[in-house]
Amino acid sequence: MRLTLTALIALAASPAFAAGDKPFFSLGNTDFVVWIAFIIFVGILIYFKVPSQVGGLLDKRAESIRSELDEAKALREEAQSLLASYERKQKEVQEQAARIVASAKEEATNAAAAAKDDIAASITRRLAAAEEQITSAQASAVKEVRDQAITVAVGAAKDVMAKQMDAKSAGALIDESIATVGERLH
């Protein structure tokens, strides 16, 4: 209805109306023919309910856009919640990694200290064992030297005594030795 009113107002203000040389309502006036064709066209559109169909299509399109916007908004909120969840998880993982690194450093420090103590104890044991071996070797060497010295001294004494000894001296020496042994045993 508004469209026809607008068309009438536009026709009334046309320059052909103002010219006045041909009557407006004749088929010889092209403006009139165009105006009638326009009204018929608009009538056909209204008869076939094209404006309501176009409006329905526009409403459907608006509704689909609205639903897409709502879906996009829901997806955005879900994405934000997932992002927040992943950020929390990342923060937790970073904290856990920091705790693991600190624990590993502490364990490494403790292991290094234990290894240092073990090495010190091992060195102390080895030094003690080496000192015992040295002492034992010294004692063994001293004993061997004494035994050798005794053997050499006995051999030398035997040779000296054999050269200086006669039967009378040998008997006196044996008697003296028996008396010395007797005194020491009692």
Residue 91, domain member (yes or no): no
Number of domains in the chain: 1
Residue 128, domain member (yes or no): no
pLDDT band at 138 (very low <50, low <70, confident <90, very high): confident
Residue 18, domain member (yes or no): yes
pLDDT for the residue 7: 58
Of 111, 136, 132, the C-alpha closest to 124 is 132
**Domain enclosing residue 65, as ranges:** 2-85
Give per-residue pLDDT as tens, 27-83.
Answer: 788 888 999 999 999 999 999 999 899 999 999 999 999 999 999 999 999 999 999
Residue 159, domain member (yes or no): no
Of 160, 186, 81, the C-alpha closest to 173 is 160
Residue 53, domain member (yes or no): yes
Residue 130, domain member (yes or no): no
Q: DSSP string covering 60-104, please? A: HHHHHHHHHHHHHHHHHHHHHHHHHHHHHHHHHHHHHHHHHHHHH
| Average confidence (pLDDT) over 87-91 | 95
pLDDT at 182 over 80: no
Q: Which amino acid appears at position 78 of this protein? A: E
Residue 16, domain member (yes or no): yes
pLDDT for the residue 169: 74
> Which tokens belong to 151?
């053997």
pLDDT band at 174 (very low <50, low <70, confident <90, very high): confident
Q: Which residue has the higher pLDDT, 4 or 121?
A: 121
Placement of tokens 């326009």 in the chain? 38
Residue 58, domain member (yes or no): yes
pLDDT for the residue 4: 57
Quote the mean pLDDT of the chain: 84
Give per-residue pLDDT as tens, 143-162.
Answer: 888 788 778 777 777 777 67
pTM above 0.85, yes or no: no
Output phi, psi for 25, to 5 deg. -90, 35
